[in-house]
Amino acid sequence: MRPLPALLLAPLGPAALPAWFAFQKGLSPLAVYGGVCAAFWVLSLAIGLPAVLLLRRWRRRETAWAYAVVGFLAVAGPIAAWGAVVGPGSRDQASVLAAYLGLLGAITAVIFWLLARPDRAAGR
C-alpha cells in the first residue's frame, strides 16, 4: 500500500479505544474518535515523518520496532512535557495519560508499518 493511504488508515483502529471509554463516561464517542484520529494524523506528519526521514538518512533499518518507538515518543513526549509544565498536581495524571496514549501511538505506527511496509518499499 502507498504511504498516504496507510497514514490515513493507521489511526482508525486504535482511536476506537478512547471513543469506547468516552462512551462509557457519557461523552460523545464520535467527537473523541475524530479528535484522536486528527491528533494522530497531525503528530504523524509533524513528528513521525521527520523521524522516519532521519532514520533513512542514518541508514537505519526500518523495522516495526523503530516505528513503534517513534510512535510512542511522538505521542507520549508532548503529553509528558505538558504535565511537567502544568504543575506537580497533574504530573501523575499526565504520566498515566502519556503512557496510555503513547501505547496507542505505538500501535498506530506499527499498523502504518504493516500497511505501507517501508522496509520492502526501499528494496523496490
> What pLDDT sits at residue 122?
56
Q: Which alpha helices (H) appear in 10-124, and where do they start and end?
A: 16-24, 29-43, 49-57, 64-86, 91-116, 118-121
Per-residue pLDDT of the chain in tens (124 residues, 90 and over written 9): 788 888 889 999 999 999 999 999 999 999 999 999 999 999 888 988 888 788 778 777 778 898 899 899 988 988 888 877 876 667 778 888 889 999 999 999 999 999 988 777 655 5
> What span, in angstroms and rounded, lies between the C-alpha atoms of 28 and 2?
32
> What pLDDT sits at residue 121?
65
> What pLDDT sits at residue 13?
92
Helix (H) or strand (E) holding 46: none
- Side-chain half-sphere of 9: how many Cα atoms within 13 Å? 13
Contacts of 78 by beta carbon, 8 Å cutoff, 6+ apart: 43
pTM (2 d.p.): 0.84
